[in-house]
Amino acid sequence: MVISRTRKFLAFIITAMALLCIFYWAVNTGSLRVGIKALLRGLFIEYDENVATIYDLRFPRIFIAMIGGAAVAVSGVLLQVVMKNPLADPGILGISSGASFVAVVITAFFPQMYFFIPGLAFCGGVAACILIYMLSWTGNDLSPLRLILVGIAINAMFMGLISAINSLTGGSYSSTASIVTANISMKTWTDFRTLAIYAVPGLLISLIVANPCNLLGLEDKTVRSLGINVSRMRIGISAVAVLLVSISTSIMGPISFLGLIVPHIARLLVGGEHKVLIPYSAMLGAFCLLLADTLGRALVPPYEISPGIIMSVVGGPFFIILLRRTGKTYGR
């Protein structure tokens, strides 16, 4: 299906406006509320105690949700094109849980290495990705069915280990518990800066690999006939995807199904051209995770529901629908 430029432009504009609305709602979800004029005045003109409190407590989690959501969504886009599987998702495949496992181990047992968590989480994600490739490879190609089954098994294994560590520590480590439950309520500007340092360059690199992603949509034989090393291209794009999801997971915890839902909705709205699909998926991912986090804060105050739980509730049925729609090719 060919999608017109007008429709793509409208999709970007409407999503951007919706993101701004959710941003304002997130800022005013809680006991403290400020108007737009008071917010802008407190941020840029003169000191306001309420605005300063909101800036310190709510702004970090809002920006973490936006950048983390964008990173996980783009990671899903890249993994789906690399693995040629519409059901590929960093959460389902166990890449997120691999990175989360390393982050939990460091946080619980080696807190003195806390500042090395992003890099070590990336190593955990890479290890999980390599394990998935090794166990899913059948002769000359990846088996779509085996890929998903192996990913589910690896995800279950890592999540079991994470739960065991959380139980061993008595669940009293707030940092560990926040990673396990994907809770971003206690995040600070330091966490945001750590995420941004790695995620923003990763998102920029993902824009650079848009053309190679388009080529991977072709048959491998066709791409090789153009003199391109397909394996090297696939490894490079996979590394970018693993970097994005690992860094996000080390800060936010594992967010299931976000990397599955967003790319499919984005393709329906703006098509499969990755120069457009990748930036739009980033924007839509930011919107979806910020919406999930804000809903979690607004539904049952003063209690909060983790955005990871909300995404799991929404993503489970979505995964089943996709599984039914792709059943014929998926079982090959």
Is 186 inside a domain boundary?
Answer: yes
Is 42 inside a domain boundary?
Answer: no
Is 35 inside a domain boundary?
Answer: no
pLDDT band at 277 (very low <50, low <70, confident <90, very high): very high
pLDDT computed for residue 69 by the predictor:
95
Span 242-267, average pLDDT: 90
Beta strands in the chain (DSSP E): 137-138, 141-142
The vertex-99 CA angle with 95 and 100, nearest 5°, equals: 110
Is 45 inside a domain boundary?
Answer: no
Closest to 51 in 3D by CA, of 59, 190, 293: 59
**DSSP character string of 39-108:** HHHHHHTS--HHHHHHHHHTHHHHHHHHHHHHHHHHHHHHHHHHHT-TT--TTTTTHHHHHHHHHHHHHH
pLDDT band at 83 (very low <50, low <70, confident <90, very high): confident
Sign of CA dihedral 306, 309, 76, 283: negative
Answer whether 59's CB lies under 8 Å from 331's CB. Answer: no
Range of the domain at 124: 61-330
pLDDT band at 326 (very low <50, low <70, confident <90, very high): low
Summarize pLDDT for 89-111 with one digit per residue, the tens: 898 888 998 998 998 888 888 88
pLDDT band at 328 (very low <50, low <70, confident <90, very high): very low
DSSP 307: H
Span 328-332, average pLDDT: 39
pLDDT band at 330 (very low <50, low <70, confident <90, very high): very low
* Mean pLDDT estimate for the chain: 86
pLDDT band at 137 (very low <50, low <70, confident <90, very high): confident
- The yes-or-no verdict on residue 318 having pLDDT over 70 is yes
Is 154 inside a domain boundary?
Answer: yes
| CATH value at residue 143 | 1.10.3470.10
pLDDT band at 243 (very low <50, low <70, confident <90, very high): very high
Task: Give me the amino acid identity at 277.
Answer: L
Is 209 inside a domain boundary?
Answer: yes
Tell me what percent of the residues of the chain surpass a pLDDT of 70. 91
**58-67, 82-91, 171-180, 227-236: lowest mean pLDDT where?**
171-180
- The yes-or-no verdict on residue 61 having pLDDT over 50 is yes
Is 147 inside a domain boundary?
Answer: yes
Partnered with residue 142 across adjacent β-strands are 137
138: helix, strand or coil? strand
178: helix, strand or coil? helix
Q: How many domains does the chain have?
A: 1
pLDDT computed for residue 244 by the predictor:
95
Task: Give me the amino acid identity at 309.
Answer: I
Is 52 inside a domain boundary?
Answer: no
